[in-house]
Structure 1
């Protein structure tokens, strides 16, 4: 076995269960990305992509013959879409950051100003959540995915949350809470223990993130409103 193959298949035994190191490392990258998102830092996106690539191989346990030989197609598939949406978010946040700096903002200022999605955004979120979950559940069930309905919601909800983060919508934190509430039981039942533990950690991070972004909305939006009113005076 070569060194790369060893790194790919390396495991650690926790409470009698063999756990892939790349599942642990991939989730740590995901946690770091969540913290970066909370702080509205552009580096959150590329860090998250690294974790997505690692976790893609983890959740196809049957395909890659991992200790958790259960295929979660929704969990694996969402990593692919995460990469796509993360590239969009990365570009969008970089553009926002450059525009703010060109307008005289501080070089280390947050990349986006949080805002509520509004009625149109809520309609979009609700429609995609319902239609997407039903459609994906039918597909995942046909593929033999473990827990297709829960897997479908995690898949759709995660994409909605990531898209909302890219748009700077405060609601994306609430979507993550709903994803975590379904994800923890699913991952525990499928034997993906590090990922389940990380979902619990995420729950604390996202609640705190919601509070931080909502506070930032009140503090950072007020000067912008004052400036607009002054411009029209």
Structure 2
């Protein structure tokens, strides 16, 4: 059996629960990608894409005949969305790094207009996708699946743009995601969401601190130039 076949079939038995190693490894890539994002490293994007590919097969349990025959279409669909937006973010951060020869992105606030659009986008996206996912047979409560998909799209886009607020969108995703994943039997992913909820708050404050340092350094440079 080659490594790919092993990864696709391997399972971990914990009591009466069966967890796919694909789910564990895919979420591990997600955590590593989040660490890279917090440190503003370009490698966060390709690492995240690798995790997305694995998790796409996990959340279509009924399609791939896994021990948990539940389809979370929002969770599966967002893996495809992640890959698309991550390619955009990868390009954005790579270009920025080449331009400044330092960090891949400079954290900054999105601004009032962008915040309003993000909030409206989260609500409208959830309302629009809920009946779509329900018609396709997604797991109930379907609105939660739609919320997670929409929030993940907005948060990933915000990360690519360098908006510090994107961390808070992830918090909103995690609050809904944990109970949904537990009820659907995706325990490894639920544990990741619990961990990630605390991690995203830490990332938010770290990016805020980076912004303050940048403003302080800019103020010093301006004062020096004027003297």
Question: TM class, shorter-chain normalised?
Answer: over 0.9
Runs (4+) of structure 1 exceeding 3 A deviation are: 1-6, 224-233
TM-score, with length taken from structure 2: 0.94
Find the residue that maps to 1:209 and give its secondary structure: helix
Question: In structure 2, the residue corresponding to 1:40 is in which secondary structure?
Answer: coil
Please say if 1:202 is aligned against 2:196: yes
Query: Within 5 Å, which residues of 2 pair with 1:167-206?
Result: 167-206=161-200
Q: Deviations over 1:147-180 (max 9, x none)?
A: 2100000000011110000001010010000100
Residue in 2 that maps onto 1:34: 34
Q: Distance in 1 between matches of 2:220 and 2:123?
A: 39
Q: Mind listing any 5+ residue stretches in structure 2 that lack a counterpart?
A: none
Residues in 2 aligned to 1:182 and 1:150: alpha-carbon distance in whole angstroms: 6
Q: Give the Cα–Cα distance (whole angstroms) in 2 for the partners of residues 113 and 35 of structure 1.
A: 16
TM-score (normalizing by structure 1) = 0.92
CA distance change for structure 1 residues 12 and 121 in 2, over 3 Å: closer, same or farther? same
Deviation at 1:69, TM superposition (A): 0.7
Give how far 1:143 is off. 0.9
SS of alignment partner, residue 18 of structure 1: strand
Matched, 1:14 2:8: no
Q: Tell me how far 1:138 sits from its aligned partner.
A: 1.1
What is the CA–CA distance in structure 1 between the aligned matches of 2:226 and 2:70, rounded to whole Å?
60
1:82 corresponds to which residue?
A: 82
Closer/same/farther in 2, CA of residues 2 and 222 from structure 1, 3 Å limit: closer
Q: Which residue of 168, 190, 209 corresponds with 1:215?
A: 209
Count of residues in Structure 1 that have an aligned counterpart in Structure 2: 226
